Structure 1
Amino acid sequence: MSETRKIIHIDMDAFYASVELREQPHLRGKPVVVAWDTARSVICAASYEARAFGLRSAMSVATAKRLCPQAIFVPPHFDLYRQVSQQIHAIFRLHTDLIEPISLDEAYLDVTENKQNIPYANQIAKQIRAQIWHETGLTASAGIAPNKFIAKIASDWRKPNGQFVVQPHEIEDFLHDLPLGKIWGVGKKTQQKMNALGWQTVGDLRQISRGELLNLFGKFGYRLYDLARGVDERPVEPERERAQISTEITLPENIVLRDVPHYLFDLATDLWQQMQRHHIDAHTLTLKLKTSEFQIFTRSQTYSAVLPERDALFRAAMQLANRMPQGEFRLIGLGVSHLQPEGSQPELFQAA
């Protein structure tokens, strides 16, 4: 049962921006934006000084420049972020093997049974955060709770560089005044519908019967009924290694399908740079979209020849996006597979 589990959600603080500031300390205290300085790019991360001007992840570079003309743009270094992420995950593995990565900078850990035999998850989280600081010079925030839903919300409670615990008996009070937008899967449209019904908080939602929620929101109504009561039985699921190269971005809020293409150029750029560094060619491209409910949609295309360059990746990704179902999405991923050494098949690029 979820009441017996001890789940920690670790979320690095402004991860990409913090890594860049660590590498370039002369930029500390300035509005730093991690993004390619091009018209088609979006912000990967913003320092806390940049956030004070309203800048945030997934905002277009053009908008960022209007809001903060003095912003300093630093191109992303994803290889470095992955290296630091690997250091952080090595620290996680000192405590548990039940680790579910969400992105490079956040993960769930199930520490119900842990390698150090530490009885309190709060103490484990403190140790992990201290070890991350010692090893990387970066800060992390943590949420500790009996399930993933509550832990994820709690990790944002005392950011940056803090942690928050929600005990089983505290769940109802913790959720009562929580805005509905904090619930997984509740995007702008769903929240507007709820607000129109007079609902503002999770406490309001808890007053609604399961049947009424089912009528209003379909199958998602079942999930809303459980989450309003703090019920989330999903286990922490470790991710298996895959024979592919990939990149992804977790967005601060849900987007609809028509907005997905705005992010594909940056993802294609990062993916192509990875392929170049590893001297790898690929025949298959896969686009992944994930909802806040962790429902995953993928579309793939295999080509008779290797994908020849970045713009080809971008165009292929756009075609895959056109094949996706409508929905609200929180994560966008792009990956290549059917890999081979670079330059081993110089052929024309066409769909298989």
Structure 2
Amino acid sequence: MDKLRTILHADMDAFYAAIEQRDRPELRGKPVIVGGDGRRSVVSTCSYEARRYGIHSAMPGTRARQLCPNGIFVRPRMDVYSQVSETIQSIFRQYTPLVEPLALDEAFMDVSGSSHLYGDGETIARSVRREVLNATGLTVSVGVAPCKYVAKVASDLEKPDGLVVVPEGSAMEFLAPLSVSHLWGAGKGMQTFLGEHGVRTIGDIQRCSLQELKGLLGESSGIHFYNMSLGADDRPVVSDHIAKSISNEHTFVEDLTGWEQCKNVLIKLSDLVGRRMRKDHRHGRTVRIKVRYGDFKTLNRQIGVPPTDSDFVIRKAALALFNAT
């Protein structure tokens, strides 16, 4: 894209935990962990006080308890979080119709066409932060940049309650000192591999030629990381996302040990999925199940079906997949 863009990435700070601390003053300043501490529970998110103990999202609840014995575990209130999210998203849409929610607590905004009404990107970001705080009592960190990738990196650098602006033409300089862990798609394995080859910062990648990276990482990954290191990301902000899948799942405090127990759960979940599909006037071609064992080993299975929103078809496929595990 040749047109100069101004992209904001807004990311609420410890969203679920912050709402709990807002609504329960006795929790403020304390390590709050949203999720259970049982063997089957995982951490949804946690307050910044809890993060000092090494706790993070998706961590088993038992491990979180070990790391922070005095942590306060609270059950998620998804209905409340969703309501607050709607308020936040409505504030974003006051500044531009081009809002791309990524989750309840974050979104991209393309404000390239809003400057004549609301000012430049930094001015809009300050206004958004102020309005979110006034409306919800919560803080949001915002990154401002010419593209989505750099804006997302920027929003994370000065959390909580941060604002980082990357002016046009300065993306490479901004990215250069950062660890390769900030590159989209660079997981732990890729980070280790790059480190073994002397590539530890994004600047190290910038000093490689495209051919060198393709030789090291392969055609696709070489091109991807080369472009990311330059801050070259022309993906548009997509305001209307249609869900590509509809799912329901449940985590149990105690293991299910019998076939009948598992069967009844699969039937219930299948019916919930079918109901949601009919409500949204959607049909699916693939049925997938996910089974997690006591040792946290996870198994995924899927099968194709004719386009359907039928509980019976979904149930039959889910049970067949489970029987084959």
TM-score by length of 1: 0.73
Q: How is 1:82-93 mapped onto 2 (pairs within 5 angstroms)? A: 82-93=82-93
Residue in structure 2 matched with residue 95 of structure 1 by the alignment: 95
Contact in 2 for aligned 1:94/1:115 (Cα 8 Å): no
Give the match's secondary structure for 1:227. Answer: helix
Which region of structure 1 is more displaced relative to structure 2, 89-98 or 231-240? 231-240
Give the match's secondary structure for 1:125. Answer: helix
2:272 counterpart of 1:301: no
Give the direction of change, closer, same or farther, for the CA distance of 1:282–1:159 in structure 2 (3 Å limit). Answer: closer
> C-alpha separation between the residues in 1 aligned to 2:136 and 2:93?
16
Residue in structure 1 matched with residue 61 of structure 2 by the alignment: 61
Which one has the bigger helix percentage? 2
Residue in structure 2 matched with residue 172 of structure 1 by the alignment: 172
Give the match's secondary structure for 1:36. Answer: coil
> C-alpha separation between the residues in 2 aligned to 1:319 and 1:282?
21
Which of 290, 309, 321 is residue 338 of structure 1 equivalent to?
309
Give the match's secondary structure for 1:57. Answer: coil
Deviation at 1:2, TM superposition (A): 6.2
Deviation at 1:215, TM superposition (A): 2.3
Q: How is 1:249-268 mapped onto 2 (pairs within 5 angstroms)? A: 265=251
Contact in 2 for aligned 1:12/1:105 (Cα 8 Å): yes
Deviation at 1:118, TM superposition (A): 2.1
Residue in structure 1 matched with residue 52 of structure 2 by the alignment: 52
> C-alpha separation between the residues in 2 aligned to 1:245 and 1:322?
16
> C-alpha separation between the residues in 1 aligned to 2:135 and 2:222?
44
> C-alpha separation between the residues in 1 aligned to 2:112 and 2:33?
38
Gaps in structure 2 of 5+ consecutive residues: 253-267, 278-283, 319-325
Residue in structure 2 matched with residue 235 of structure 1 by the alignment: 236
Deviation at 1:192, TM superposition (A): 0.8
> C-alpha separation between the residues in 2 aligned to 1:238 and 1:320?
33
Residue in structure 2 matched with residue 152 of structure 1 by the alignment: 152
Residue in structure 1 matched with residue 300 of structure 2 by the alignment: 321
Residue in structure 1 matched with residue 19 of structure 2 by the alignment: 19
Residues 30-70 of structure 1: CA distance to partner in whole angstroms, max 9, x if unpaired? Answer: 11100023211110111111111111111111111111111
Residues 128-167 of structure 1: CA distance to partner in whole angstroms, max 9, x if unpaired? Answer: 1111111111100000000011100110122111201000
> C-alpha separation between the residues in 1 aligned to 2:124 and 2:221?
34
1:58 partner letter? A
2:200 counterpart of 1:200: yes
Deviation at 1:319, TM superposition (A): 8.9
Give the direction of change, closer, same or farther, for the CA distance of 1:319–1:172 in structure 2 (3 Å limit). Answer: closer
Residues 276-319 of structure 1: CA distance to partner in whole angstroms, max 9, x if unpaired? Answer: 9xxx8333899xxxxxxxxxxx99318xxxxxxxxxx7649x99
Residue in structure 2 matched with residue 283 of structure 1 by the alignment: 274
Contact in 1 for aligned 2:290/2:300 (Cα 8 Å): no
Deviation at 1:172, TM superposition (A): 2.1
Deviation at 1:85, TM superposition (A): 0.6
Deviation at 1:26, TM superposition (A): 1.1
> C-alpha separation between the residues in 2 aligned to 1:299 and 1:39?
34
Which region of structure 1 is more displaced relative to structure 2, 238-247 or 72-81? 238-247
Residue in structure 1 matched with residue 38 of structure 2 by the alignment: 38
* % identical equivalent positions: 40
Give the direction of change, closer, same or farther, for the CA distance of 1:34–1:7 in structure 2 (3 Å limit). Answer: same
2:136 partner letter? T
Residue in structure 2 matched with residue 333 of structure 1 by the alignment: none
Give the direction of change, closer, same or farther, for the CA distance of 1:207–1:315 in structure 2 (3 Å limit). Answer: closer
Give the direction of change, closer, same or farther, for the CA distance of 1:127–1:348 in structure 2 (3 Å limit). Answer: closer
Aligned CA-pair RMSD: 3.3
Deviation at 1:320, TM superposition (A): 7.5
Contact in 2 for aligned 1:37/1:75 (Cα 8 Å): no
Which one has the bigger strand percentage? 1
1:75 partner letter? R
Give the match's secondary structure for 1:43. Answer: coil
Gaps in structure 1 of 5+ consecutive residues: 248-262, 267-275, 287-297, 303-312, 325-336
Deviation at 1:209, TM superposition (A): 1.5
Give the direction of change, closer, same or farther, for the CA distance of 1:212–1:285 in structure 2 (3 Å limit). Answer: farther
2:316 counterpart of 1:350: yes
Residue in structure 2 matched with residue 258 of structure 1 by the alignment: none
> C-alpha separation between the residues in 2 aligned to 1:42 and 1:339?
31
Give the match's secondary structure for 2:117. Answer: coil
